[in-house]
Every structure is written in C-alpha cells, then in structure tokens.
Chain A
Amino acid sequence: MEWLQQIINGISLGSIYALIALGYTMVYGIIKLINFAHGEVFMIGAFTGFVAIVHFELSFVPALIIAMFTCSVVGVLIERIAYKRLRESTRIAALITAIGMSLFIQYLFIYFRGAEPEAYPQDVLPERTLDIFGVKVSMQALLILFISIVLMILLQFIVQKTKIGRAMRAVSYDKDAARLMGINVDNTISATFAIGSALAGAAGVIFGIYYTKIDPLMGLIPGLKAFVAAVLGGIGIIPGAMVGGFILGIVETLVSAAGFSLFRDAAAFIILILILLFRPAGIFGKNTKEKV
C-alpha cells in the first residue's frame, strides 16, 4: 500500500505544479510568450501568504485570497510595464525580457528584505493523518489537492462559460478578428495575466504550507518544473497544464520513493528532453503547422 500513499503525495505535489503551469500556458496561449517571471509571481504569493498568516494572524482562506489578489496585481504590472511594448517585436526579445524580469524581481526582493529564508508555521492546516483502508494519507495533502481542484474547476468555468473567458479564447485565436468583435485586446491580455498570476499566488501559499521553507529564489525550480509540465501537456492548452502537472508530481515522487531522491529534479528535465524529442506538441497538442 505504500506506493498508493506515494501516488497521493505525488498528486498533491503535482497540483502545485499544475497551478503554476496553468499561468504559463494561459499566457503562452494568448501572447505566445513564455513568461519566465511567473516563478517569481509564485514566490511573491508565498511571501504574501506568509505575511498575512504570521504578521496579520489570518487563517488559511483569507491569506490565500490576499495572496491571489496581490499576485494578480503583480502579474498585470509585469505585463503592462515589461511585455506590452514588445508585443510586435521578435519573440526572442520578449523571451529575454521575461528572463530579465525574473532576475529583476528576485534581486529586487533580496535588496529590500534580504535573502534569508522564512518558515511557514506548521499549524495553518490541520496536521492529521487519515487512515483510508490501510493507506495513510496526510490531511494536508488532501486539502491541498481539494483546493487545487476547486481552483481548476473555477478556472475552467471562467474560460468556458463567461464573457471574459470567451474573449480570452477569441484573442488567443485571432487578435484582429477579436478587435472586430469589439473586444478590448489589451484588457483581455491583462485579465489573462491576472488570472494566471492569481493561480501562481495560490500555489505559492500552498507550497509554503506543504514545504514550510520559503526564500526569494524559491520560484526558480518549481517555475521551471511547471514550465516542463505545461510543455508536457501541450503549451497553450489548459487541461494539458493540469495533466502535465499531475504527471510530473507523480513521477518525481515515485523517483524519490524508489530511492533516487537525488535524481528527483533531473526527472523533470529528462521528461522535458523526451517530450521535445518525441512529441514536441505535448500530450494534448495537435501537431499543427505554424499559423502564417
């Protein structure tokens, strides 16, 4: 039964990757940019949640909401300040700007508060273990999974059923045609950044609670792994990011459980290399030709 336990742990870890990956994939879907500063938004979410819980003594849900809100503002600012003016330029220029933005946020953060880590308190979520037919499952892992799934369902609802979701899909498909519908393309792109960043913020708080230690450079590795998850599922495809995140979490956990915990991080990048070699469009991606 131990492997079942590990899979459940893997799914909770995967749900964190999935939440971050959603932001990557949504932004890529709408402006074809890999937003490498997305991991930093995740980091800001973790710290905002920390401040809310420790300094303002809020409980989990309000802290989560505050972190999500803060991150959506940060995401919109990043887009307006750094990416908007590059929309018509080459993709490599925008990509390098994104990497620059990522480093800028990391070191700005260190400059103002220092590089020392913080520890999330242990008692934010009930720390109990449930025994389900002999499988020991931590309550935290289940709650994290539950919250992530609620957020993903909410996201699917927004994208599929609401007006702003329809606008997002229209803009991602054809910007000029969307303009002719009266859609404000700039605002729609901002909304996409806001939603994607809010999910990264939520992932930050959840990560803090799960792993307790947070620091200004914490966004790097989960950010890269979430990027792998997004590519694995098919970049630009929302369900792909979810599935990619879960697969990555499970694979990583199983690799550790099998005794190769040193290779945990390598596993993600081996997956990336394999995907790029054998199925570059990702699991859900159609092998379409580049649109002219």
Chain B
Amino acid sequence: MLKVNDIDVYYGHIHALKGVSLNVEEGEIVTLIGANGAGKTTLLNTLSGLLRPKNGTIEYMGKSIVGLPAQQIVRDGIIHVPEGRRVFAEMTVEENLLLGAFLRKDSQQVKKDLEKVYEIFPRLEERKKQQSGTLSGGEQQMLAIGRALMSKPKLLLLDEPSMGLAPILVQTIFEIIQEINNDGTTVLLVEQNAHMALSIADRGYVIETGKVVISGTSKELQESELVREAYLGGA
C-alpha cells in the first residue's frame, strides 16, 4: 500500500532522515519506534505532504505522492493525526470533527460517520458544544483520532497517541486503534512507548538519528537484544 524508498529529508540544514525505506501493506498495523528527535515525526510530516523529501520515492497505492499538496494526499486517504493532537482549541468539539470531513461532499454519510465517532467516543458527544481547548489530554487525543476518522482514512498515520496520557487511557486509546484497524483501516503508528506499540502492531521499524536500524515482525523486535535494551527497559 505504501512504499517509502530511500528518502532523504532536510529540516533547514539538519539532515533529518537519511535514506529511510519502509513499507506498509494493506490491513496492517506497522509501528515506528525511536527516541525523541530520531526522525519519526519528520517521516510522518513527509508522508502527509508537509515536508518534501530531497531524494527518494514515496509510492502510495502504486502512485508517487512526492510533491503532491497536502490536501491531495488527504483526498487520497492518508490521514495524519499529528503529534500533540493539534486540535483547534478555540472551536467546538463538533466543529473540529466537521473539519475532519472538510473535503467530503457526501453530507448524509458525514452525518452518519459523526454518529459513529460519537459511538466510539461517547465522551465527545457529551462535550460536542464545548470548546476543544477545555478538554483533558485524553479527550483531546480522542478528538484528534475522531477527527481523522471523519476524513475516511485508508491509511492512518498516528504520531505518539500515548503522549502525556495516564496508563489507563493509553490502554483505551490502543484498544480503539486496534478496533479501527479491524474495521479495515491500515495504521502506521509512531511511538516512544515501544512496549505498547509492539503489543498491537504486526511489524515494526526502529529508527535512530534518521536511519532505520532494525525492522521485523513485532515478535522479532520484542525478542531482539537491541530493542529490549534500548526501548523496552532492558531485561
């Protein structure tokens, strides 16, 4: 579904991604783990068209998407839930969700999908008239994911959905990610919480200072010496 081949991405003068390759097959959950500053967010920003790679190719469903404007990539079904949720704080919960459906013309279906999002996240329905800046961190993450679902994702890019959340909420969010995947959405999950990420992913990549250092099935990574020491807290 997604083939990233040997891309180089610069952030100003910083060479943020150095020859990164990875692929995601339809229906999978693939995780990208790595420390802060390893280049995970840069990779997602490149996939969603906010950044352009200097070299290398990105193919999505058989077509190159390098250089396409972000709104075209959204239209093609790659939906990015950014790091730090980035909800529109001064707009209501429902307005945020409707922004997720910005490009859609099928208003009947949009209404149904809104109901569906409220079914998945009943909290959001309770607070639909509330300004989203007043929500708790967990609720904002639910809103960010709900907003992405309103865009009808084929490939969902999630950037650190567990960041800053209480463990119990992390559990809930990860269960929901699995549900979304079971409903047929492919997921590329960026995480620092390697333990949680590998527990739901089919495969994973480990990225360090802009390079993929190891990849494999979740099981292989969980057993790998390098991953255990650096990302799973030793032992």
What is A's interface to B at a CB cutoff of 8 Å?
A: 163, 166-167, 169-170, 173-174, 176-184
The count of A-to-B residue pairs whose CB atoms sit within 8 angstroms is: 60
In the bound complex, residues from chain A placing their C-beta under 8 Å from that of B71 are 179, 182-184
How far is it, in angstroms, between the C-alpha of A1 and the C-alpha of B87 when the chains are bound? 52
- Bound together, the chains give a CA A197 to CA B229 distance in angstroms of 60
Q: Is the CB of B100 within 8 A of A166?
A: no
CA distance A179 to B103 in the complex (A): 11
> What secondary structure prevails in chain A residues at the interface with B?
helix
Which applies to chain B's interface (DSSP): helix, strand, loop or mixed? Answer: loop
Contact B99 A170 (CB under 8 A): yes
**Nearest A-chain residue to B69, judged by Cβ:** A184
Interface residues of B (CB under 8 A from A): 48-50, 69-71, 74-75, 79-80, 82, 86-91, 95, 98-100, 102-103, 147, 151
- The answer to whether A176 and B86 touch across the interface, beta carbons within 8 angstroms, is yes
> Taking the nearest CB of chain B, how far is it from the CB of A87, in angstroms?
15
A176-B50 in contact given A163-B102, A166-B99, A182-B151 (Cβ < 8 Å): yes
In this complex, which of A169, A170, A179, A180 has the most chain B Cβ atoms within 10 angstroms of its Cβ?
Answer: A180
Query: Are A167 and B102 touching (Cβ within 8 A)?
Result: yes
| Given A173-B91, A180-B74, A182-B103, 15 further pairs, Cβ under 8 A | A166-B95, A167-B99, A167-B102, A170-B91, A173-B88, A176-B82, A176-B86, A177-B82, A177-B86, A179-B48, A179-B71, A180-B70, A181-B100, A182-B151, A184-B71
Q: Is the CB of A169 within 8 A of B90?
A: yes
The distance from the CB of B199 to the nearest CB of chain A, in whole angstroms, is: 27
Assess the B74–A170 pair: CB atoms within 8 A.
Answer: no
Q: Which of A163, A169, A181 has its CB near the most chain B CB atoms (within 10 A)?
A: A181
List of A residues within 8 angstroms of B69 by Cβ:
184
Query: Are A170 and B88 in contact, CB atoms less than 8 angstroms apart?
Result: yes
Q: Which A residues are CB-close (under 8 A) to B99? A: 166-167, 170, 178, 181, 183
- Once the chains bind, are A173 and B90 in contact (CB under 8 Å)? yes
Q: Which residue of B lies closest to A173 (CB)?
A: B88
Q: Cα distance A180–B82 when bound, in Å?
A: 8
- Docked Cα-Cα span, A183 to B50, in Å, equals 12
Q: How far is the CB of A164 from chain B (nearest CB, A)?
A: 10
Q: Which residues of B contact A173 (CB under 8 A)?
A: 88-91
Shortest Cβ distance from A179 into B: residue: B70
**CB-based nearest A residue for B79:** A180
Q: How far is the CB of A190 from the nearest CB of chain B, in Å? A: 14
List, in ascending order, chain A residues with CB within 8 A of B75's CB: 182
Taking the closest CB of chain B, its distance from the CB of A173, in whole angstroms, is 5
Q: Which of A163, A169, A182, A184 contacts B88 (CB 8 A)?
A: A169
Residues of chain B within 8 A (CB-CB) of A177 are 82, 86-88
Q: Shortest distance in angstroms between A147's beta carbon and chain B's nearest beta carbon? A: 29
Report yes or no: B74 in contact with A181, Cβ–Cβ below 8 A.
yes
